[in-house]
Amino acid sequence: MRDLQGSSQPGAPPLERAVDLARLRSGDKGEWDRFVRRAGPVIYAAVLRRLAAAGAASEAEDVAQEVFARLCRPDRPLAGYDPERASLSTFLTVLSTSAAIDHLRRKRPADPIDAIPEHRLSVPASEPAERIKIPDGLLTARQKLVLTLLYDREMEVAEAAALLGVDAQTIRSTHHKAMLRLRAHFAGDAPAAPLVSQDEA
Amino acid sequence: MIGSEDDKQLWRKFAEARGSAPTPSKGRAGEGGDTASSPSRLGDRLAPQDEEAGKRASLDHPHLEVAAQGPSKDEDAAMLLAAWLDGRLEGAEREALETRLAADPDLLDLAVSASASRGLAAPWPKRGEARAAALVAASRPGWRLMAAAAAAVVLVALGGFEMGQAGSQLLSDDSETDLAAELGLVPETDLMETLL
């Protein structure tokens, strides 16, 4: 596997510029063949990466075909892609990763209900504990996401920064501000005012 | 790792209070799991029991037939996530998506996994390329060309028929005259001349 900007094809144009989207969507056979040649390695890499992690690398070719079948709608190939919103390679990578995940999920053997221990099906006798009231807007969407990445996913600051497309200092700052608000709220000494913007970071 | 254990506990308290207690960690960067959601789940969220039932369903090809019929919800959702990964999602759209990502570990797993695969390419077998290329058939000629070709065929056929008919008539006339002469029924001389 190589980086698209790597040395395999120096100076190769991005996928968007290598493909004539209008001709592709009009059903032009030659353009579809060109698209398959250029997009195939991108789709295959995303699928292969995900399946290999689950020990199913040998199935990558079939899943890549499934992605092409999804893209190749008779009415308008790649109808769901908007070049103004994202690069074609990112769009294909998301779609391919999703297809690989779906494939792995389908492979999971179904648990027959008879095989599930009864205690797992029973409803807990105790009532759920009363939840603490959390005001809307205590944390911004970005703050919640940053804390999720750092604490639930156990990501490093640099990894979270790369995912969000910001620098590491921004992640630290967002984390710091979020923790200040949480401490203030749970300490109960001063209810935090709702935030209005998520872009404070 | 940033933050203290107290910070982590505070976050857990917040998450539980919101009713979105974090699921057990899936390991580094969430690459190991195989249960992340399809991007179509960016739309309406299923009830937990429905989600579980969906995971247990054993459909062989859940997408191909549906995708072939019309606009794909998966593609729309993938477009949204791709825009976010490319940093092109702004305002309320970005906030809504990030709220979903923070609340849905499977969706976040998809985003993390796709992010890690961005910019990669791998050589794939030629037979795969051939199979994918065959999904679109060679284009057929346009209807104008087809109509012109049909008209040309009809004209040639009609012309041939007319020519054949005329030739046949000529041959028939000559044959009749020759035969009558041979049988001695009609003299070759002009009839009027004979009478006079």
What ipTM was assigned to the predicted interfaces of this complex?
A: 0.79
Mean pLDDT, range B113-133, rounded to an integer: 91
**Residues forming beta bridges with residue A2, ordered by sequence position:** B121
Interface residue A96 vs chain B (CB under 8 A): yes
Same domain, A89 and A142: no
Residue A90 in any domain: the answer is yes
pLDDT at A91: 94
**A74 within a domain of the structure (yes/no):** yes
Which structure tokens are listed for B148?
């012109």
Contact at CB, A36 and B132, closer than 8 angstroms:
yes
Domain assignment present for residue A33? The answer is yes
Average pLDDT along chain A: 82
Q: Is residue A120 part of a domain?
A: no
A170 and chain B in contact, CB less than 8 A? no
Number of domains in chain A: 2
* Domain identity same for A140 and A188: yes
Kindly state the average pLDDT of the residues A41-66: 94
Of the candidates A153, A77, A159, A67, the one whose C-alpha atom is nearest the C-alpha of residue B39 is A67
Residue B177: per-residue pLDDT: 63
Q: Are B46 and B54 a contacting pair, CB within 8 Å?
A: yes
pLDDT score of B106 more than 90? no
Amino acid at B151: A
Judge if A143 and A66 occupy the same domain.
Answer: no
Burial (0-12, 13-18, 19+ Cβ within 10 Å), B8: middle
* Closest to B22 measured CA to CA, from A106, A4, A153: A153
Least Cα distance to A69 among A104, A109, A102, A108 occurs for A102
Asked which of A87, A107, A127 is the last residue of a domain, the reply is: A107
Q: Is A28 on the interface with B (CB under 8 A)?
A: yes
The domain spanning residue A25 has which CATH number?
1.10.1740
Contact A94 B17 (CB under 8 A): no
Q: Specify whether A94 is located in the same domain as A43.
A: yes
Q: Lowest-pLDDT range, A100-109, A167-176, B145-154, B179-188?
A: B179-188
Q: Are B85 and B118 in contact (CB under 8 A)?
A: yes
Chain A: nearest CA to B67, how far in angstroms?
A: 5
Radius of gyration of chain A (CA): 23
Q: Does A140 touch chain B (CB under 8 A)?
A: yes
Q: Which domain does A146 fall in, by range?
A: 135-201
Distance CA(A132)–CA(A130), nearest Å, equals 7
In a domain, A129, yes or no: no
Q: Which CATH number fits the domain that encloses residue A194?
A: 1.10.10.10
User: Mean pLDDT throughout A2-11?
Assistant: 49
For residues A117 and B115, the answer to whether their CB atoms sit within 8 Å is no
- A141 and A100 co-located in one domain: no
**Are A89 and A19 in the same domain?**
yes
Nearest residue, CB atoms, B79 vs list A86, A105, A163: A86
The percentage of residues in chain A with a pLDDT greater than 90, rounded to a whole number, is 50
**Are residues A50 and A101 both part of a single domain?**
yes
Report, as an integer, the average pLDDT of B170-195.
Answer: 63
